[in-house]
Amino acid sequence: MRSDFDEELEGRLVRYAAIDTQSDAASPDQPSTAIQLDLSRLLVEELEQMGAQDVVLTDYGVVLATVPGTAPGPVMGWCAHVDTAPQYNATGVKPVVHRRYNGGDISFADAPDLKLNPEVSPHLAGKEGEDIITASGLTLLGGDDKAGVAIAMTAARHLLENPDIPHGPIRLAFTPDEEIGRGVDPRLPADLGADFAYTFDGGKPGEIEYETFSADGAKVTVTGVSAHPGFARGKMVNALHLASKIVMTLPHVTMTPETTEGTEGFLHVVEMQGGSSEAVITLILRDFERAGLEAKGALLRQVCDAVAATEPRARITCEITPQYRNMRYWLEKDMTPVDLVRAAVADVGLTPVSVPIRGGTDGSRLTEMGVPCPNVFTGMQEIHGPLEWISVQDMALATRVAIALARRAVT
């Protein structure tokens, strides 16, 4: 059975997902891609049309707006990100709504050999009769995190049109570049002006996340010695050979994304580019504890030093850059925002579930910068690939949680 929010959520997600907003870690710009602003400008128009106040698109690419309070209470933030992941094709997204899912295979018009079913994605089991949105098979859907955008927009519209619902001021923030770890500009906490906030960027209904990876990025640069290959004996030092040695010396059967789970961290080689004279290896380091993250950085440096020692004519540098830290370090000092959303989840008939995120959100950085910001489910599944899907009814549950949060904050 479709709820009061289903039609609006479906329309918003289909509309938003069709807009290409892929971010680009290699770009120095802010936002990293100008196409993200296509959705941001649309959100500004829609917010103004629904009667939100203080609507602005900042010069660092964040859409901010206010739903005025109808009762005394703290200022709450609702956040979601407009960008989609760079790991998979996100150009030309064609959202498809599979109405009243029958429990079997979901096929894809543009990729006939691709199938989605409960064996592939267990959360599909029990979704019979619900409305499932996917892409057409050649792209990701972008529900990560356009589902969160649709949920926050729908909940905001509902509160604006129903001033009898008691709630404090709510600040909306739609950020760019979350997928590349650059979603929270240093100016955002002050501009948001929230006492606490929530990102709508999670998975299964009922999930509330307040523990994330701590994360660093790493860049290893290998500079060799260039020489004409026909006359290179005793002269050339091939940077690609040394870079390959570094990659092969790093752990393979442990401490990689494909060999870890739960609270285990990893070292992940993301990319290697270059040529025989210079090569660059890009990595990400993840661990739930600071000590574990530091140990992985130390291991990477140790491997680089060991390979450098085999060829003194080469130069190998290892630059490690902090990205975000486990939000638990701050939230565990005051669990009030977590307790509030747990109560809101229970209000809509769900059982609250909290598991550590094997990833991060804008909430990680916001929390570290002084705005406590747990993460709330949206329903998104199989993200960052062609099998990505979401149930409209799961999105409606998240919308109800947002409205329950607004009520809860003033009671």
CATH number at residue 240: 3.30.70.360
Instruction: Specify if 41 maps to a domain.
Output: yes
228 sits in the region (left: phi over 0; alpha: psi -120 to 50; else beta) called beta
Which of 238, 197, 139 minimizes the C-alpha distance to 364? Answer: 197
Which residues, in sequence order, are bridge partners of residue 316? 222
Same domain membership, residue 348 and residue 242: no
391 alpha carbon, distance to own chain's centre = 18
Identify whether 83 is a catalytic site residue. Answer: yes
Instruction: Specify if 309 maps to a domain.
Output: yes
Instruction: Specify if 1 maps to a domain.
Output: no
Domain-terminating residue out of 323, 341, 358: 323
Q: Tell me: the pLDDT tens digits for 236-265?
A: 999 999 999 999 999 999 999 999 999 999
Instruction: Specify if 263 maps to a domain.
Output: yes
Residue 225 CA: distances (Å) to CA of 88, 363, 407: 35, 44, 66
Q: Tell me: the pLDDT tens digits for 82-136?
A: 999 998 999 999 999 999 999 999 999 999 999 999 999 999 999 999 999 999 9
Domain residues for the domain of 274 are 214-323
CATH number at residue 61: 3.40.630.10
- Numbered residues of the known binding site: 81, 144, 179, 201, 384
Question: How would residue 4 be classed by pLDDT, with cut points 50, 70 and 90?
Answer: confident
Q: What is the CA radius of gyration of the chain?
A: 23
Same domain membership, residue 274 and residue 253: yes
Which residues, in sequence order, are bridge partners of residue 172? 65, 78
Which of 300, 316, 294 minimizes the C-alpha distance to 218? Answer: 300
Q: Tell me: the pLDDT tens digits for 197-251?
A: 999 999 999 999 999 999 999 999 999 999 999 999 999 999 999 999 999 999 9
Same domain membership, residue 371 and residue 352: yes
Same domain membership, residue 361 and residue 239: no
The active-site residue, picked from 8, 178, 368, 394, is 178
The total number of structural domains in the chain stands at 2
Question: How would residue 181 be classed by pLDDT, with cut points 50, 70 and 90?
Answer: confident
Same domain membership, residue 118 and residue 13: yes
Please, what is the average pLDDT of the chain? 96
Same domain membership, residue 234 and residue 194: no
Same domain membership, residue 102 and residue 52: yes
Domain-terminating residue out of 323, 345, 362: 323
- Numbered residues of the known binding site for Zn(2+): 81, 144, 179, 201, 384
Q: Tell me: the pLDDT tens digits for 267-295?
A: 999 999 999 999 999 999 999 999 999 99
Same domain membership, residue 198 and residue 138: yes
Same domain membership, residue 49 and residue 38: yes
Question: How would residue 72 be classed by pLDDT, with cut points 50, 70 and 90?
Answer: very high
For residue 1, pLDDT over 70 is answered with: no
Instruction: Specify if 266 maps to a domain.
Output: yes
Q: Tell me: the pLDDT tens digits for 13-33?
A: 999 999 999 999 889 999 999
Same domain membership, residue 287 and residue 349: no
Q: Tokens 């509330």 sit at which residue?
A: 208
Domain-terminating residue out of 272, 299, 323: 323
The active-site residue, picked from 6, 10, 83, 287, is 83
Same domain membership, residue 208 and residue 296: no
For the chain, what percent of residues have pLDDT higher than 70?
Answer: 99
Same domain membership, residue 260 and residue 314: yes
Identify whether 278 is a catalytic site residue. Answer: no
pLDDT at 2: 57
Instruction: Specify if 96 maps to a domain.
Output: yes
Query: What is the C-alpha separation between 218 and 320, in angstroms, rounded?
Result: 4
